[in-house]
A and B are shown apart, each in its own frame.
Chain A
């Protein structure tokens, strides 16, 4: 139809982006397996936790600095490890990670996390 077409062409891109975002979101909800959504929820939790620590550091005080670094690094490091677990476990990435089984990925994730937490608590003070 010419009307809606022309109207969609002449209107500014904000509605286009909002349409794109909602399509993306819908597609994510429909197509992502539950296991991966489970990991994504954990990722969101880690990000929020890190951001809130950063906000406290900037707004209130950065003393003691070592504690801030340890707490923030805990969030950042855990995010990186969890993201790499998600990448390795995702069935759609099978071709990338032929030698790494999901079990092996989880073992790496667990070991990396323990070592990260060791450094974090060492530096936390």
Chain B
């Protein structure tokens, strides 16, 4: 009986680790914020199998890295107003974490902190300090800095999320395509000092000054993600209040409940690599009709290239073959792509993408290059080098009818030589000198 119950408990404990592939999270929580105020968010993470460890920004332990090796799989930085951290948290060390495949979720604020310069490294342009986002629309009883923001559809978010409450700073997005916009500001919002109507002149002057102008309108971002070259993800959220219980429960001006809880769950799922995570299992290539990759190809060979791709399924914590990519492309490159063709999925074979093409009639060292990047999805990159050689002397088309005269000529010369040699050796030497014709 005891054995059964302990086995049952172990089983239950194991099932808790269902969603996360890697699940240790360090939450750096500013002492001014209370952990209980964010119980819906943190509780949701723990339910999905993450182990949360809490510390304050100024604590020296637990450290985020040990001699360069990260101690945790993910880090949440809810310290938007903190101006000084312990020694192990600096913008450089956070960027170092990302290079070591640790994902980050960072909350910003209108105040100027070390995180401001970190955000600038990711092409996010923050407004001047102490200019939070305010909006007078829609008319509501909350202060202008607490704004209901409609959520537009995005592959990262579940469809149909109601508007969410937001307080914090907006940011302008740079042009780098590695940025993944998740939530944009409403069109009527802008960043300003929230005092009185008399400051309207100051607003106009700020915009006329030139330079960055006014942070206003729906081009501004509120929650933006960034996927690095090593496929680690970081999300910058303009404020920490959207994660709080209070905002999750506050009624919208229209009367319905906001989508904060659902929104922050989706954002955390993306940052912590639960969804839209892909990898290339294997690639192989061979000539049509063969099954093994040859050591080298000859020009004009018909080549078959196959890629196997899987996606991570967070519900079962396994990798499953994924055939959902419909714009995968293959390049056959020697310095420049000589051939670029689409790599369609094979119907009936999940996760397999295959194409057949003819090798160019130039010889050299070529690469099969697979390079698929789309916003929000892991980057798929693969490069396989193969030599392509010109044909051997007996691989060219031979015995052509066009060359009959030349064959006749060559054979004729050979036969002539043989006949000449036979007659010469056998010949009458007497004929070498002409009778009475010695040159004098």
A and B touch in the complex (CB under 8 A): yes
Kindly supply a per-residue 1/0 record for chain A positions 68-96, scoring 1 wherever the CB is within 8 Å of any chain B CB and 0 otherwise. Answer: 10111011001000100000010110000
Contact of A71 among B410, B429, B433, B434 (CB under 8 A): B410
Give the docked Cα–Cα distance between A124 and B406 (Å): 8
Q: In the assembled complex, how far is the CB of residue A11 from the closest CB belonging to chain B, in whole angstroms?
A: 32
How many residues on the B side are at the interface (Cβ–Cβ under 8 A)? 32
With A and B bound together, what is the CA distance between A123 and B397 in angstroms? 13
Nearest CB in chain B to that of A68: its residue:
B406
Q: Are B402 and A75 in contact (CB under 8 A)?
A: no
In the complex, what residues of A have CB within 8 A of residue B412's CB? Answer: 49
Q: Taking the complex as formed, is A121 at the interface, i.e. its CB lies under 8 A from any CB of chain B?
A: yes
Q: Does B403 contact A (CB under 8 A)?
A: yes
Q: Does B417 contact A (CB under 8 A)?
A: yes
Residues of B within 8 Å of A49, CB to CB, are 409, 412-413, 416
In contact, A91 and B433 (Cβ under 8 angstroms):
yes
Set of chain A residues within 8 Å of B400, measured between Cβ atoms? 63-64, 67
Which chain A residue shows the least CB distance to B437? A31
B interface footprint on A22-43 (CB within 8 Å = 1, 0 otherwise): 0000000011111110110010
What is the bound-complex CA distance between A72 and B412, given in angstroms? 12
The B412-426 residues at the A interface (CB cut-off 8 A) are: 412-414, 416-417, 420-421, 423-425
Tell me whether A45 and B416 are in contact (CB under 8 A).
yes
Restricting to A81-125, which residues have a CB under 8 Å from any CB of B?
82, 89, 91-92, 106, 110, 113, 117, 120-125
Contact B413 A33 (CB under 8 A): no
Contact of A78 with B413 at beta-carbon distance under 8 Å, contacts A34-B431, A38-B424, A91-B433 already known:
yes
In angstroms, Cα B423 to Cα A103, docked, is: 14
Measured as residues with beta carbon below 8 angstroms from the partner, the interface class of chain A is 35 or more
B439 at interface by CB-CB < 8 Å: yes
Q: Decide: B434 and A31 in contact? CB cutoff 8 A.
A: yes
Q: A15 contacts the other chain (Cβ, under 8 Å)?
A: no
B411 to chain A, nearest CB (A): 9
Interface of A is mostly: helix
Which single residue of chain B is at the shortest CB-CB distance from A113? B417
Residues from chain A with a CB closer than 8 A to the CB of B429 are 35
A89, B398: Cα distance in complex, Å = 40
Contacting residues of chain B (380-423) with chain A, CB-CB under 8 angstroms: 393, 396-398, 400, 402-403, 405-410, 412-414, 416-417, 420-421, 423
Q: List 17 A-B contacts (CB under 8 A).
A: A30-B434, A31-B439, A35-B431, A38-B423, A38-B424, A38-B431, A42-B416, A50-B409, A53-B406, A56-B405, A61-B402, A64-B402, A72-B409, A78-B413, A91-B432, A106-B421, A110-B421
Give B contacts to A, CB under 8 Å.
Answer: 393, 396-398, 400, 402-403, 405-410, 412-414, 416-417, 420-421, 423-425, 427-429, 431-434, 437, 439
| Extra A-B contacts (19), CB below 8 Å, given A31-B437, A34-B431, A35-B427 | A33-B432, A35-B429, A38-B423, A38-B431, A56-B405, A56-B406, A63-B400, A64-B396, A64-B397, A67-B407, A68-B403, A70-B410, A71-B403, A74-B414, A75-B409, A78-B416, A113-B417, A120-B413, A125-B393
